[in-house]
Amino acid sequence: MYKPMTEYLDFGAGPISTKAELFLLKQRRQSFIDTEGGPLFLGIPDRWLDNVTFRCIHGHVSKCILKSEEQGDLCLACYGPVLITFPEDEEQI
Which positions touch Zn ion (CB under 5 A)? 56, 58, 60, 75, 77-78, 80
Least distance CB 81 / Zn ion (angstroms): 9
Nearer to Zn ion, 40 or 58 (CB): 58
Q: How far apart are CA 54 and CA 74, in angstroms?
A: 9
- Residue 25 CA, chain-centre distance (Å), reads 5
Helix (H) or strand (E) holding 85: strand 82-85
Nearer to Zn ion, 36 or 73 (CB): 73
CB of 20 to Zn ion, least distance (A): 16
Shortest Å distance, C-beta 21 to Zn ion: 11
Nearer to Zn ion by Cβ, of 45 and 75: the residue is 75
Using the 8-state DSSP alphabet, how is residue 81 labeled? B
What element of type H or E holds 46?
Answer: helix 46-50
